[in-house]
Amino acid sequence: MQDAPSLLKNIFGYSAFRGQQGEIVAHIADGGHALVLMPTGGGKSLCFQIPALMRPGVAIVVSPLIALMQDQVATLLAQGVAAACLNSATSSDAAREIAQQARDGRLDLLYVAPERLLMPRFLAFLEQLQISLFAIDEAHCVSHWGHDFRPEYQQLGILAQRFPQVPRIALTATADEQTQLDILHYLQLAEARVFLSSFDRPNLYYQVIEKHNAKKQLLEFIRHEHVGASGIVYCLSRKRVDETAQWLCDNGIPALPYHAGLTHQLRDSHQRQFLREEGIVMVATVAFGMGIDKPDVRFVAHIDMPKSPENFYQESGRAGRDGLPAVSWLCYGLNDVVQLRQMIEGGEMAALQKQVELSKLDAMLAFCETASCRRQHILAHFGEQHAPCGHCDNCLYPPVTFDATVLVQKLLSCIYRVGQRFSTGHVIDVLLGRNTPSMAALGHDRLSTYGIGKDYNQRGWRSIIRQLVARQLLQVDIARGQSLVLTEACRPLLKGLQPIYLRPLADEKKARSHISGDRWLRTEREERLWQALRAWRRQIADEQNVPAYVIFTDRTLRDLVERHPTSRGELGRAYGLGELKLARYGDALLQLLCEAASTV
């Protein structure tokens, strides 16, 4: 039985544990229970995969999605680890063979869905096995207050009752304090040790822009920085997904739609294509992505505002899992806030849960409108203190606020004059003095505020309204046709008792991330070698019918380019190159490296 550092290097190809990984592995290997909170891309899987190889028996891994199981099993098999998964796509013959392998002690890890694990017949089957540990992945699914609630997860506490001597580890990348308490309660982990890592993703660049033509803004973002890169675009509705995917395709960006309105077969086909091909942009509702292990996603774009910081953090965290530079890009407008508020207030949930959801929506709006460090802001939501990062749009290009007191007084007076009964569009029309059909009929062209805002344009007024809503100086009354309503907090502004400073319209082009996956290549030789390695990896992956990153991640290829090893010993020091892969691919890699270097 190898020790943890040897397994880490020989199987997974890493020279050292990161952060708390080593401590977690030792705790589980010694039979302890744990709750592990670690950011996406932080190496959660190693925290149970290595103890599974150290302890006798088979590890049972509870995973919520078929795609996630299949992805992790394919990667483990490529590393020489005996792994399998049982799900609804597994044939009867294959399931019987997997079950026999588990009984015979020929499996190291077995992945199952919570629904299957809870079946009495399957629990009885587990009692026949020597189980090394239980790993409950995406553990936030246990909580009503989490963002991917799965009722089956709340029943997984049965594992503590049926298998009290088997160590259990629950893992998640996103859980606020209430969700953490729910995980400990429902999974009966009250005595478990909690490992809370930093939620920071230092390789992510955060950029938020104001929406005025989302599809064109998205196209410009991709064309300027990410042509040929894999990315995910999140939309609020199925219709918007279809329209955006078609728009990107029409403009030369290979894009695929993904949402619950598509057939199961088409969704699977699109997901498989996204995982296995390079340069695909997946346009999706939030139904897509949980547990997607694709490490080379270079950007995640939201063209509608997420409903909570938890959703935003989880979704944006799907970029840059390999630790290389990646971008989180968010484009939002006031209509997003209104639409999300309507969805929450009109939803079938308890009043207390609606209150929680609305408070999270307010927190998400505050993140979008903040003039301070975005990384600092999102980490504070999870209770983590962080200095300004120097690497988000606000840090690199600090917003210069201006005295907006007079403009805000004009706006608030106009809202008051129209009786707090009209939406944003009409209020702005009054301020700009527009002669719309309804203006004269309502008599609003005779108001003292008619035309007093012509010194500011429509986008400028929308920006001011958004910032006032974020500061809770204004509210949008959904029940009264999305009317703008004054809050008590705006009274001192109207009376001229205090000034207010706001952000002007941002310069989107100035705040671009200037991150490109290929800009690290310094010479023609490095470019040639990089392309040769990618072509070789693609060929091997096609032959084995697996995603390219299962063979080697971009980070491994980049390390090979930068190190340019010329011997087997040097090759063995490359990132992510374990013993099995070295034995399997070492000679071919050395030959390719030699040929690429000698080509003129």
Summarised one tens digit per residue, pLDDT across range 494-511 is 888 889 998 887 665 555
pLDDT at position 517, please? 46
Residue 543 reports pLDDT greater than 60 = yes
Both tokens of residue 292?
């997607």
Write down the H helix ranges in 370-490.
374-381, 393-396, 405-417, 424-432, 437-442, 458-470
How many other C-beta atoms are found inside a 10 Å radius of the C-beta of residue 496? Answer: 10
**Over pLDDT 90: what percentage of the chain?**
52
Strand ranges (DSSP E) for 156-203?
A: 168-172, 193-196
pLDDT at position 547, please? 87
Query: Is the four-CA dihedral 362, 363, 364, 365 of positive or negative sign?
Result: positive
Three-class secondary structure of residue 327 per DSSP = strand
Residue 600 reports pLDDT greater than 50 = no
Three-class secondary structure of residue 359 per DSSP = helix
Query: What average pLDDT does the structure give for the chain?
Result: 89
Return d(Cα 176, Cα 140) in angstroms, integer: 9
CA distances from 75 to 70, 83, 463, 541 (A): 9, 9, 47, 12
Contact 230, 274 (CB under 8 A): yes
Contact 321, 258 (CB under 8 A): no
Return d(Cα 313, Cα 333) in angstroms, integer: 19
Summarised one tens digit per residue, pLDDT across range 553-566 is 888 999 999 888 98
Contact 361, 471 (CB under 8 A): no
Summarised one tens digit per residue, pLDDT across range 345-378 is 888 877 877 888 888 898 999 999 898 999 999 9
pLDDT at position 270, please? 92
Return d(Cα 141, Cα 148) in angstroms, integer: 5
- Whose structure tokens read 């009929």? 441
Q: What is the side-by-side order of every strand in the sheet holding 230-234? A: 204-210, 326-332, 297-302, 230-234, 281-284, 255-258
Q: How far apart are the first and last CA of the chain?
A: 48
Domains and CATH numbers, the chain: 4-196 (3.40.50.300), 204-396 (3.40.50.300), 402-502 (1.10.10.10), 524-598 (1.10.150.80)
Summarised one tens digit per residue, pLDDT across range 277-331 is 889 999 999 877 655 778 899 999 999 999 999 889 989 989 998 888 999 999 9
Summarised one tens digit per residue, pLDDT across range 461-495 is 998 998 998 888 998 887 777 899 999 999 899 88
Query: Is the four-CA dihedral 363, 365, 371, 376 of positive or negative sign?
Result: positive
Residue 576 reports pLDDT greater than 90 = no
Return d(Cα 489, Cα 486) in angstroms, integer: 8
DSSP state of 446: G
pLDDT at position 111, please? 96
Element (H, E) at 220: helix 214-225
Residue 276 reports pLDDT greater than 70 = yes
Both tokens of residue 89?
């796509």
Return d(Cα 538, Cα 296) in angstroms, integer: 14
